[in-house]
Amino acid sequence: MKRIRSVVRGCGSYLPPRLVTNKDLMEFVETSDEWIVQRTGIEQRHIAADDETTSILGIKAAEAALADAGLQASEIDLIVCATSTPDYTFPSTATMIQNGLGIHHGAAFDLQAVCTGFVYGVATADKFLTSGSHKRALVIGAETFSRILDWEDRTTCVLFGDGAGAIVLEAQEGEGTPADRGVLTSHLRSDGRYRDKLYVDGGPGSTKTTGVLKMEGREVFRFAVGMVTDVVRDAFESTQTTAEQLDWFVPHQANKRIITASAEKLGIAPEKVVITVNKHGNTSAASIPLALDTAVKDGRIKRGDLVMIEAIGGGFTWGSALIRW
Ligand code: ACO
C-alpha cells in the first residue's frame, strides 16, 4: 500500500577549523596520545573559536545540506535542531539557524536528547512529514561541547569535540515496502533512572549556571554496549530486514571500542561500520550527521543503500532509525 516516506534529499556538515590533537591536550592535562587512542580510538577533535556558536556551526552545515540537495532555503518548512549546547537558554538554536538561513515561515525547534538527539530528530521530523503537515525538513545536529567541559578533568575533556551535520528530508510517495527510499522505521527509548551516570551539573532552573559534564565512564561504556542493541534489533524486526542486508552501520561516535563491540554483538561486518570518532572525537548530537556526510562524500554511502543509525546518550536516551538512502 502506497505511503509517504521521508526521503533524504541531501546532507552536509561543518567542522570548526581549529584542530586539537591528543598531543596538544598534554599541555592542559596529564594524559598521552597512547592512552587516548587505546581507550577511545580518538586521535584529534575540532574545537570552536569563541565567536563560533552552535547556531553558526548549524547554519554552515544546513547550507551545505541545502546545496547538496539542490534546494533553496525557502523550500524548507521545518527545522529540527538537536543540541545540548544551545547558544542561549532561549530562543532556540533552531530559530537562530532558521533566521540565519533567511527562512521566515514554517516551524523550527530544538530537541534535547543529548547524544541521541539526531536520531530523535530524524524520528520526529519523519512523523511531521509522514503526517502530511510539512513537506521538507532540515534535521540538524550541532554542538559546542567544548563549552561544557571541565578542561582540568582528564577523564572527560579528552573525549569530546565540536561540529555540526545536517540532512534534508522530503516527503515523497513510496510503495510501502522496505525497498522504498526514506526513513523505513525508527525506535526511541529513554530511562531517567540513569541520570547520574552522565549529566551536566548546572542549568538555568537549578544552579543558574551552565555547569560542566560529569560521567561515570566505565558504567556508560557498559550500558552503551548493552542497551543500544535492543532498538537496532527492533528496527530489523519491524522492517523484516537483517544485519546481512545492511549496507552501512553509522552509530553515534563516542568511542571506537563501544562501536566495535556493538557491531560485533549485532552481527554487523566490520567493513560496514562507519567510524569517524578518530578524527572528530565525540560531537554528541552532531556525530551521526557528520559521519553520514563523511561516508556520502567519500563515496561509501550511495543512493538506495540501507543505512542504520543508532545512538545512546545522557538520560539515558537511546534510539535507532533505518533509512534507505
Ligand atoms: N589520560 C590518562 N589516564 C587517564 C585518563 C586520561 N585522559 N583518564 C583517566 N585516566 C586514568 C584513570 O585515572 C585511571 O587511573 P588509575 O587506575 O590510576 O585510577 C586509569 O586511567 C583507568 O581509568 P578508567 O576510567 O578505569 O579507564 P577506562 O578503561 O574505563 O577508560 C573511558 C575510560 C575511555 C572513559 C571509558 O570508560 C569509556 O570509553 N567509557 C565510555 C564513555 C564514553 O564514551 N562517553 C561518551 C559520552 S556518552 C555517549 O556519548 C554515549
- Pocket probe for ligand 1: among 20, 39, 114, the residue whose CB has the most ligand atoms within 8 Å is 39
- Output the pLDDT for position 224: 87
Write down the domain spans for the chain: 3-174, 182-324
| pLDDT one-digit tens code per residue, 16-50 | 999 999 999 999 899 999 999 999 999 999 999 99
Partner residues linked to 167 by β-bridges: 11, 139
* Pairing verdict, β 306-313 and 107-111: unpaired
- Output the pLDDT for position 208: 97
> Is 81 marked active-site?
no
* Pairing verdict, β 19-21 and 213-215: unpaired
The Å distance, Cα 282 to ligand 1 centre, comes to: 14
The Å distance, Cα 40 to ligand 1 centre, comes to: 9
In CATH terms, are 3-174 and 182-324 the same topology?
yes
The Å distance, Cα 290 to ligand 1 centre, comes to: 24
**Which residue spans within 89-197 are E strands per DSSP?**
107-111, 136-144, 162-174, 182-190
Give the architecture-level CATH label for domain 182-324: 3-Layer(aba) Sandwich (3.40)
Residue of minimum CA distance from atom 36 in ligand 1 = 217
Which residue stretches of the chain have pLDDT < 50? none
Rounded Cα–Cα distance for residues 296 and 302 (Å): 7
- Output the pLDDT for position 226: 84
Residue of minimum CA distance from atom 32 in ligand 1 = 217
* CATH number for the domain whose boundaries are 3-174: 3.40.47.10
Contact 15, 114 (CB under 8 A): no
> Is 115 marked active-site?
yes
Query: How distant, in Å, are the alpha carbons of 29, 30, 103, 143, 208 from that of 153?
Result: 7, 9, 41, 20, 22
